[in-house]
Amino acid sequence: MSLIGSDAMHLPVMRSRVVDLLTPSLLHHDSAHVDATLGMGGHAEAVLEACPQARLIGIDRDTEALELAGRRLARFGDRVRLVHAVHDELPAVLDDLGLARIDSILLDLGLSSLQIDHADRGFAYATDAPLDMRMDQTSGSTAADLVNTAGPAELARIISRYGEEKFASRIASAIVAARREEPFTSSARLVEVVTGAIPAAVRHRSHGHPAKKTFQALRIAVNGEMDTLARVIPEALSRLAVGGRIAVLAYHSLEDRPVKEAFRTACSDSAPAGLPIVPESMTARFIAVTKGAERPCAEELAANPRSASARLRVVERVKEDA
């Protein structure tokens, strides 16, 4: 997801490619497309424009994003239904709407630029702000709650697992020592402590901000992103109609790995290895539409640098479950 300046300047990552890949599933009357990470509604708008026969169910946990997306999509009238929910609540959302099957679904993972660019959300390590990091500001614990209460071992585990930070133990110890003097309330102080815990020689060699990995880890933990991802992928696959497609945009290997594995399993036969003929009941239910993960083209990278790490995977259901 990406926002530059305002909702009018929203630049959805790989928009044209996403629309091209999902459109074949949305050509029939009253087809149903789910944008399970609606954000500012840029992808959804493009799909609704390209597929006038389709209706949209837009899901997001961020109430501010839903409000802005609602304004953006108002011109589509009753073709649009917006729901405040986390994407792993997909089955309940669809059941409430009386939808047993859907024709396409998009998951655009990670942070939106709405969340990055609004300083008061506390996601950005480059701007001082209250240490919040909740995608849904109406519920749940904040990043400040986490860094002020978690033990050193738990902090180190989070920073290592979700940030893939090799100095996780040093950073966790530094956080615990600093909070004894004064609890953390702002992102700037956390950036200072994290930066100081990383050896100077490493900081000088690194191309990225020294706090980037820790902030990513805390954000993922605060929002339970890996847990919700693990739940939503199988649910989304199971609700697709035959001919339906799911597209997932991931932005780092932690997100992409479980998507890749789930898609590989879905596109594989379930027969034991070595059978000379695979029974029809054991053939794969899905086929890969993209060959591996597609990346943004040079043109897009020039127009929207935040798309650089994006990886797009799409699969299509070709048969019902046995």
Taking residues 6-16, report their average pLDDT.
71
Contact 293, 310 (CB under 8 A): no
User: Using one digit for the tens of pLDDT, what is the confidence trace for 148-182?
Assistant: 999 999 999 999 999 999 999 999 999 999 999 99
CATH architecture for segment(s) 7-114+225-317: 3-Layer(aba) Sandwich (3.40)
Distance separating alpha carbons of residues 258 and 263, to the nearest angstrom? 8
pLDDT above 70 (res 12):
yes
pLDDT score, position 190: 96
Provide CB contacts within 8 A for 197, sequence distance 6+: 167, 170, 171, 173, 174, 175
Are the beta carbons of 293 and 312 closer than 8 angstroms? Answer: yes
| pTM (two decimals) | 0.90
Q: What is the mean pLDDT of the chain?
A: 91
pLDDT at 122 > cutoff 80: no
Model confidence at 11, pLDDT cuts 50, 70, 90, reads: confident
Q: What is the pLDDT of residue 4?
A: 34
- What CATH number does the domain located at 121-223 have? 1.10.150.170
Q: Average pLDDT in the 38-57 region?
A: 96
The mean per-residue pLDDT over the stretch 88-100 comes to 97
Separation CA 241–CA 263 (nearest Å): 16
pLDDT at 95 over 90: yes
Q: For residues 7 and 69, what is the distance between their CA atoms, to the nearest angstrom?
A: 8
- The pLDDT assigned to 157 comes to 98
- Position 117 scores a pLDDT of 57
Q: Could you state, in order of their start, the residue ranges of all structural domains in the chain?
A: 7-114+225-317, 121-223
Displacement of CA 294 from its chain's centroid (Å): 16
Position 7 pLDDT exceeds 70:
no
In the β-sheet with 240-250, what is the strand arrangement from edge to edge?
A: 80-84, 54-60, 31-35, 102-108, 240-250, 311-317, 286-288
pLDDT at position 8 over 60: no
CB count within 10 Å of CB 215 equals 24
Record the tokens describing residue 32, joined without a space: 């149903």
pLDDT of residue 280: 84
What percent of the chain shows pLDDT beyond 90?
Answer: 78
Does the pLDDT of residue 86 top 70, yes or no? yes
Please say if the pLDDT value at position 63 is more than 60.
yes
- Whether the predicted pLDDT of 105 surpasses 70: yes
